[in-house]
Amino acid sequence: MKKLLFLCLIFSSFSSAESNEPPTVVIIGDSLTEGYGISKETAYPALVEKKLNAEGVPVRIINAGISGSTSASGLERLRWQLKNSPAIVMIALGANDGLRGIPRKATEKNLDEMIALARQSKSVVVLAEMKLPPNYGKKEAAEFEALYSRLAKKHSVRLIPFLLAGVAGDSKLNQDDGIHPNEKGNQIVAETVGKVLKVELEKLKSKDAPKKVSAGK
């Protein structure tokens, strides 16, 4: 009897420890997410994690950004990251697709499959929109951007209108290449991403909170 009680106490302590683990957010992206040219500690995923934890929103963020990545590599990388049982999967891919002239249909198909897989695994999905540089032309840029809103609507997922909002095109916020945000630029990206993730994490917390049962008469 004592042995059984001891085992129950151990199991209970393990369960308690697991329940206290903060939810995991996986951000699958390219060099913009990885933090090209700066340290990972100053890249936006790390800044978002620090910011949200300081605001009382516990979270563990996995920076799954790899420089040079296109949407074609996203599905396999997502399958690997789903082993971490993320509460939220943020997809920030497609910039390199556009810059390299990869057909939009291929990009849309790859992102579509990623979203479907993440939702099938019960993860909340956040999709970050990418834009093409102005020199690609208005028509091309508009058609590229449209695929993100189309996917967000199709799968009913949260869309970040533009990952680099307030940063793109500002020399003070970008590195010498004019493409990758510097440390100050990443702080602004962290604000953009942090606001969205905070809302989604609070929704999950509210959903998982035990419901009060009113006393019967």
Pick the residue with more confidence: 207 or 8? 207
Q: Which H or E run contains 172?
A: none
96 CB-contact burial (10 Å; exposed 0-12 / middle 13-18 / buried 19+): buried
Quote the tokens at residue 92: 């920030």
Instruction: Please compute the mean of the pLDDT values over residues 35-42 and round it to a whole number.
Output: 97
For residue 31, what are the CA distances in angstroms to 67, 85, 117?
Answer: 4, 24, 23
Please state, in angstroms and rounded to a whole number, the distance separating the CA atoms of residues 64 and 92: 10
| Each residue's pLDDT tens digit, 115-130 | 999 999 999 999 999 9
Is residue 8 scored above 90 in pLDDT? no
- Using CA atoms, how far apart are residues 121 and 142, in angstroms rounded to an integer? 31
Strand, helix or coil for residue 214: coil
Sole residue written with tokens 């009113």:
214
Statement: the pTM of the whole predicted model exceeds 0.75: yes
Name 25's bridge partners: 61, 88
At 96 the pLDDT is: 97
Domains of the chain and CATH, by start: 23-201 (3.40.50.1110)
Q: What is the pLDDT of residue 210?
A: 60
Just list the catalytic residues.
Answer: 31, 177, 180
